[in-house]
């Protein structure tokens, strides 16, 4: 069984990886961890620096995830792409990985310590639960394999 996981190293992505390993470990899946670095819209020096920082961060996150898979005895590989996350994840699913299942984590923000910020975050989270994010909804309409969207815990 080939499972592709959209992985950006976020808390939700790490939880999605752990949940996927827990749910499918007995099937001995091969996990493909796919990260996408979004290209800056202009090529100013500061945007290029931010893009390079994102690339380094994603490479490190992918390596940490691969290390976790090794510790769990799961076969895994990684792929780092550049471009629009929605389109590149769809491209990877259809042309590179061809998984039996695509797993993505819902995007959400953790509340910070302030009362007002927490209240606003809870309100936004409630709205977020009523809808999919832009990547989730894009992939739900287009991907040709089963899609598992894991909520944040």
Could you read off the pLDDT of 57-89 as tens digits, one per residue?
A: 999 999 999 999 999 999 999 999 999 999 999
pTM above 0.85, yes or no: no
| Domain of residue 33, CATH code | 3.40.50.620
pLDDT band at 35 (very low <50, low <70, confident <90, very high): very high
- 37-64: per-residue pLDDT in tens? 987 666 677 788 888 899 999 999 999 9
Chain segment 4-17, per-residue pLDDT in tens: 999 999 998 999 99
The answer for residues whose C-beta is within 8 angstroms of residue 102's C-beta and 6 or more apart is 3, 4, 5, 6, 89, 93, 139, 143, 145, 146, 147, 148
Q: Is the pLDDT of residue 100 over 90?
A: yes
- Give the dihedral sign, CA 96/102/105/106: positive
- Check: CB of residue 109 under 8 Å from CB of residue 121: yes
pLDDT exceeds cutoff 90 at 142: yes
Number of structural domains (the chain) is 1
Residue ranges making up the domain that contains 135 = 2-150
* Residue 116: pLDDT over 80: no
């Amino acid at each position: 069984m080939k499972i592709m996981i959209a992985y950006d190293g976020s808390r939700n992505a790490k939880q999605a990886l752990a949940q996927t390993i827990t749910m499918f470990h007995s099937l001995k899946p091969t996990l493909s961890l796919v990260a996408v670095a979004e290209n800056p819209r202009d090529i100013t020096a500061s945007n290029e620096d931010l893009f390079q920082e994102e690339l380094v961060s994603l490479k490190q996150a992918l390596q940490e995830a691969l290390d976790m898979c090794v510790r769990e005895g799961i076969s895994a590989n990684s792929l780092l792409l550049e471009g629009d996350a929605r389109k590149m994840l769809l491209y990877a699913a259809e042309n590179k990985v061809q998984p039996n299942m695509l797993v993505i984590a819902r995007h959400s923000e953790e509340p910070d310590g302030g009362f007002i910020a927490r209240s606003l975050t809870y309100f936004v989270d409630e709205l977020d639960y009523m809808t999919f994010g832009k990547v989730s909804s894009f992939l739900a309409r287009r991907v040709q394999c089963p899609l598992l969207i894991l909520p944040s815990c």
